[in-house]
Structure 1
Amino acid sequence: MTTYLKIIAPLFVSFTLLSCIQEDKGVAQKPNIIYIMSDDHTTQAFGIYGSRLAGLNPTPNLDKLANEGMIFDNAFVNNSICVPSRAAIITGQRAQTNGVLDLEGAIAPEKQFLPIEMQKLGYQTAIVGKWHLHEEPAAFDYYTVLPAQGKYFDPEFRVRGEKSWPNNIIKTEGHSSDKIMDITLDYLKNKRDPEKPFFLMHHFKAPHDDFEYAPRYEDYLANTFIPEPESLYEIGQHGSEATRGKNDSLTRTIGSSVSHRNLIRNQAMNIYWNDSTIYKKYRNARDIDPKEYVKWEMDSIEREYTSKVYQDYLKKYLRCVKGVDDNVKRLVDYLETEGLLENTIIMYTGDQGFMLGEHDYIDKRWMYDESMRMPFFVRYPEKIKAKSRTNAIINNTDFAPTMIELAGGKTPDYMQGKSFKTILETGIEPDNWQNATYYRYWMHLAHRHQNPAHFGIRTKEHKLIFYYGKYWVDTDDPNATWNKESWGNDFANHTPPAWEFYDLTKDPKEMNNAYKDPKYQETIADLKNQLVQMRESLNETDKNYPHIQKVIDEHWDD
């Protein structure tokens, strides 16, 4: 017996040690996940999306990273505004389910589902940069986040500490894109447990307006002519009475513009407040005949002035993008030097798209593609083929389920998004995959951008939008309340309800609203049926907003 124990004991110890080593190795091999998101970085400002700006090579480092993985051509936001987009990403839920309709919405720690689920899977979790969901990001193990929008220069950050949120503040010096990356690199080098996989959300402030770039980029593109969209000067048949008014009566107030067109908010106003005799002449001309303005807008002097504003606008924006691109290279270089790159899943996106002068619009909020399309790509050589691309439709509620499943988990039942892990790994869109996405912008005529509230459906071939043009409260009720921070306050400006339909196969730039075209009536009817079904299945109806539902019912068959 003693001889037997002498033989078997060492074998048992060896087997136990081997099992532990294999278990440790298994944990070590679990992929790290880094989710990088910039603010308002739109697909037009990439090389990989082939826009008019691609020839400028604005994102060489991001393009390289994207080409080492899978690029998504049909990634869409549910609501093209910062807080609702971020809420959808962190919860995997739509607006009426997670409760965030506008910029004042907040996500409490118990509803910060993505880091909670990642922790269950053995991940240490961290978030650095822009947060903007108001409550403390306490579900993360580590956080260093900007207060609200934060500052471009010498930003302050809120951190976990002895004082209660939000009173623990650290101050930094420099540009936000650099400082946010400094903090991320410090976390990776010094703050994390190297024995555990990490899930890191790195959020740039840039290139959110007003596009304050680091001084080292002052000469970048200085002598370059930036290609301009044709729709900056030509309206065509884009839009509807909801966005243009009857006989173009709303063109001077709806949709913040590059040119002087919008008298309430325009980029010319931001840059050259008193520099133009034209602006001085027309800035208070609210009663100018819209038709006369359209003639004036096409005047060579106004075109020259608009082009000057546009060039300045885009150069500032692209210099912010350049700072993001260069800082991503810093991260990739670190991961490669430390031997972490190949076992780290890297996702990159913007929190929504952005209008870069298309249809003479700035900002986002619209359901037009430049605003609702998100750049999105994923790199993970072990499972994702390099130089792969997909046109499968995904939206930002799908991000959390996908990251959870890539980490080895299962999508929770309470999430409305769907994992596209299979698409990443096979390049094949499943037979039952979604063929459309739903969009909803709630903040009617808010923040002087003057975008009417609307919702709609987007498939690979078509887009249908309904502008309901009413507030979400009964404004005839003296006791009615509304969110004055995020919603317009001028009750007189109930814009007219209207539909827009675009055939994206023939009209990808959305220049021709074909809603009244007889040849599309069957397609439009089908899209309306799909829209009803989606609103029901996603808990996105207006049953709690009867005044909106009344408008919908009255104008559904217009």
Structure 2
Amino acid sequence: MYYKISKLVFAAAIFPFLISCEEKETQEPQQKPNIIYIMADDHTTQAFGIYGSRLASLNPTPNLDKLAGEGIIFDNCFVNNSICVPSRAAILTGQNSQANGVIDLEGELTADQQYLPKELKKLGYQTAIVGKWHLHAEPSEFDYYKVLPGQGNYFDPDFLVRGEKPWPENVVQTTGHSSDVITDITLDWLKNERDPNKPFFLMHHFKAPHDDFENAPRYDEYLADTFIPEPESMYDNANNGSVGTRGKNDSLTRIIGSSVSSRNLVRNQAMNLYMDSTVYKQYRNPAEISPNEYVKWEMSSDEKKHTSMVYQEYLKRYLRCVKGVDDNVKRLLDYLEEQGLLENTIIIYTGDQGFMLGEHDYIDKRWMYEEAMRMPFFVRYPEKIKAGTRTDAIINNTDFAPTLIEMAGGSAPEYMQGHSFKAILETGKEPEDWQKSTYYRYWMHMAHKHGNPAHFGIRTKQYKLIFFYGRYWVDTDDPNAKWNKESWGNDFSRHTPAAWELYDLSKDPNEMNNVYSDPAYKGVVADLKQQLIELRENLNETDKNYPHIQKVIDEHWNDK
């Protein structure tokens, strides 16, 4: 009798619990994760603690380093074209430049090509973008947008919004530094605009630290009395480069690659920092450079002292902008934690490309050299990603969209050329069949007085092979035809020599020794060229539509 009563009592006690569990399962289905994609402009891996560069000892990004340590860090994330607009187009389309049609700064991404927000809306997401857009057409496929016009201003920036007038006539004025204002707008959207019944996808894009660097006044004294570690290659570039980037007997070093020092006569950082100098004149016209100035550049002891002075100011301005980004990311994370949103939100942080901070005496980006090509990239999502994970798997910015779509519960559409690395995020392991290389292409030959020759190449974990084809993009194979991109802003309309460069990154991570002509690497060169041919064909990145470029490729493909 006692046994029967006990069973009844137990059943009565457990029955409500079973019902409540059933109701909970019915009423509270698994919620899709929110996604916040944070991107800073020109925030390069050298300007983090987590990537172990010479600047890491300055602790420039304590909040971002903490965020990265709570998730997975990618050491081999690369841009496919190191310039703002093409990079952003690749991120939103999952496609390379020729597939999405955005090869330069003039390219625009029309509504029908804004694939990432389109696909995520199909999966039930509310979508928003705040900050830098820079893709010219209206970001109409986002449910909400408040974006900078073009590059936007550092202080008191205007923003374009959806409104009664046609794009881009609906303008909202703001007050303050852009990094602060962009974060204010994002927080306001999270508090007042988002639908709490839907998962959200938010792109939070800083303008900073794009040059010319302007920090919020509260950072004026940051690093004021600190010596910034300098790259050795700024003073001695050793065997980096080729005739394609230096000219015969280094005769083109005065015009190729905008510089920290006064090496580049057309555009160097001293021009920006010391405009009142009698020695320097802003943006010299290459046509005014006399033939006797095209000589091998050698840095004197006085020039080294001056270059160091310029570099110190240049880097402090840059790092003060980075500091503003880092602090504002903390503001965003603090809000998410306060509102209980942090744990169910996938948080991605990256830059739109890398940036040269004096390495090889270069500033800006555009190069396939490591500092410009490598992107910072890390992801936090405790539900699926183990804290403290790190990987050297190769990914590029066309892989972002497929991955986010799959993390949101969908499948990447076939028109995307990138590949989802969701499995790497969740396991920390690289699948055996994962891509072993990445492709790069820079089109804007000698544009904007930065003096970067057009080039393309392949990067594996150990090697980097670059071909500088040194030609303008024109619509005809007539070598005398006028190039069709006057808006690129050059008055130095000339071709540069074609040349190959090969770097063994396992022995030479700083790319100081071009070993292309070394007989010991003959087999490596042949293998990489074959891989490059296959990559270009698979990605539809050949030059079949540009016969004048293809002619140069054919003539120099087998150069020794």
Same fold (TM over 0.5): yes
Q: Matches of 1:526 and 1:16 in 2, distance apart? A: 64
Q: Matches of 1:307 and 1:477 in 2, distance apart? A: 42
The CA RMSD measured in Å over matched residues stands at 2.0
Q: Deviations over 1:307-356 (max 9, x none)?
A: 00000000000000000000000000000000000000000000000000
Aligned-pair distance for 1:482?
1.1
User: Which residue is equivalent to 2:108?
Assistant: 106
User: Which residue is equivalent to 2:551?
Assistant: 550
User: Which residue is equivalent to 1:4?
Assistant: none
Q: Matches of 1:542 and 1:389 in 2, distance apart? A: 37
Aligned-pair distance for 1:162?
1.0
* Percent of matched pairs sharing the same residue: 70
Aligned-pair distance for 1:471?
1.5
Q: Output aligned runs, 1:507-518, within 5 Å.
A: 507-518=508-519
Check conservation: 1:444, 1:488, Cα contact below 8 A. no
Q: Which of 63, 66, 70 is equivalent to 1:64?
A: 66
Q: Matches of 1:239 and 1:328 in 2, distance apart? A: 37
User: Which residue is equivalent to 1:88?
Assistant: 90
Q: Matches of 2:118 and 2:447 in 1, distance apart? A: 33
User: Which residue is equivalent to 2:252?
Assistant: 250
1:162 corresponds to 2:164:
yes
Structure 2 unmatched ranges of 5 or more: 1-17
Check conservation: 1:40, 1:350, Cα contact below 8 A. yes
Q: Matches of 1:278 and 1:192 in 2, distance apart? A: 51
Aligned-pair distance for 1:23?
5.5
Q: Scaled by the length of structure 2, what TM-score is found? A: 0.93
1:209 corresponds to 2:211:
yes
Aligned-pair distance for 1:16?
12
Aligned-pair distance for 1:279?
7.8
The 1:199–1:382 alpha-carbon spacing in structure 2 relative to 1, beyond 3 Å, is same
User: Which residue is equivalent to 1:504?
Assistant: 505
Q: Deviations over 1:9-35 (max 9, x none)?
A: xxxxxx9999886465226x2100000
Aligned-pair distance for 1:273?
2.3
Check conservation: 1:350, 1:375, Cα contact below 8 A. yes
1:520 corresponds to 2:521:
yes
Check conservation: 1:461, 1:504, Cα contact below 8 A. yes
Q: Deviations over 1:26-53 (max 9, x none)?
A: 26x2100000000000000000000000
Residue 170 of structure 1 aligns to a residue in which SS? strand
User: Which residue is equivalent to 2:15?
Assistant: none
User: Which residue is equivalent to 1:538?
Assistant: 539
User: Which residue is equivalent to 2:473?
Assistant: 472
Q: Which of 25, 28, 40 is equivalent to 1:25?
A: 28
Aligned-pair distance for 1:484?
1.7
The 1:293–1:143 alpha-carbon spacing in structure 2 relative to 1, beyond 3 Å, is same
Residue 73 of structure 1 aligns to a residue in which SS? strand
User: Which residue is equivalent to 2:54?
Assistant: 52
The 1:542–1:277 alpha-carbon spacing in structure 2 relative to 1, beyond 3 Å, is closer
Check conservation: 1:119, 1:125, Cα contact below 8 A. yes
Q: Deviations over 1:434-476 (max 9, x none)?
A: 0000000000010000100000000000000000011121474
Q: Deviations over 1:362-402 (max 9, x none)?
A: 00000000000000000001100101000000000000000
User: Which residue is equivalent to 2:134?
Assistant: 132
Aligned-pair distance for 1:92?
0.4
User: Which residue is equivalent to 1:347?
Assistant: 348
Residue 349 of structure 1 aligns to a residue in which SS? strand
Check conservation: 2:209, 2:321, Cα contact below 8 A. yes
User: Which residue is equivalent to 1:368?
Assistant: 369
Structure 1 unmatched ranges of 5 or more: 1-14
Check conservation: 2:270, 2:280, Cα contact below 8 A. no
Check conservation: 2:250, 2:296, Cα contact below 8 A. no
Work out the number of aligned pairs and report it.
539
Q: Scaled by the length of structure 1, what TM-score is found? A: 0.93
Q: Deviations over 1:380-439 (max 9, x none)?
A: 011001010000000000000000000000011110000000000001100100000000
Aligned-pair distance for 1:274?
3.1
348-357 vs 16-25, which moves further: 16-25
User: Which residue is equivalent to 2:330?
Assistant: 329
User: Which residue is equivalent to 1:3?
Assistant: none
Q: Deviations over 1:82-132 (max 9, x none)?
A: 000000000001111100000000010111000000000000000000000
The 1:196–1:313 alpha-carbon spacing in structure 2 relative to 1, beyond 3 Å, is same
User: Which residue is equivalent to 1:6?
Assistant: none
The 1:532–1:488 alpha-carbon spacing in structure 2 relative to 1, beyond 3 Å, is farther
User: Which residue is equivalent to 1:11?
Assistant: none
Residue 28 of structure 2 aligns to a residue in which SS? helix
Residue 341 of structure 1 aligns to a residue in which SS? coil
Aligned-pair distance for 1:287?
3.5
Q: Matches of 2:100 and 2:500 in 1, distance apart? A: 28
Residue 508 of structure 2 aligns to a residue in which SS? coil
Residue 83 of structure 1 aligns to a residue in which SS? helix
Check conservation: 2:472, 2:483, Cα contact below 8 A. no
User: Which residue is equivalent to 1:317?
Assistant: 318
Letter in 1 for 2:146: T
User: Which residue is equivalent to 2:402?
Assistant: 401
Residue 393 of structure 1 aligns to a residue in which SS? strand
Q: Output aligned runs, 1:377-388, within 5 Å.
A: 377-388=378-389
Letter in 1 for 2:318: Y
The 1:445–1:75 alpha-carbon spacing in structure 2 relative to 1, beyond 3 Å, is same
Q: Matches of 2:329 and 2:290 in 1, distance apart? A: 45
Letter in 1 for 2:307: T
User: Which residue is equivalent to 1:178?
Assistant: 180
Q: Deviations over 1:228-276 (max 9, x none)?
A: 0000000200100010000000000000000000000000011112336
Q: Matches of 1:17 and 1:166 in 2, distance apart? A: 53
1:287 corresponds to 2:288:
no
The 1:177–1:516 alpha-carbon spacing in structure 2 relative to 1, beyond 3 Å, is same
User: Which residue is equivalent to 2:151?
Assistant: 149
The 1:380–1:490 alpha-carbon spacing in structure 2 relative to 1, beyond 3 Å, is same
Q: Which of 486, 498, 502 is equivalent to 2:488?
A: 486
Check conservation: 2:250, 2:297, Cα contact below 8 A. no
Q: Matches of 1:426 and 1:18 in 2, distance apart? A: 31
The 1:360–1:24 alpha-carbon spacing in structure 2 relative to 1, beyond 3 Å, is farther
The 1:489–1:265 alpha-carbon spacing in structure 2 relative to 1, beyond 3 Å, is closer
Letter in 1 for 2:417: Q
1:357 corresponds to 2:363:
no
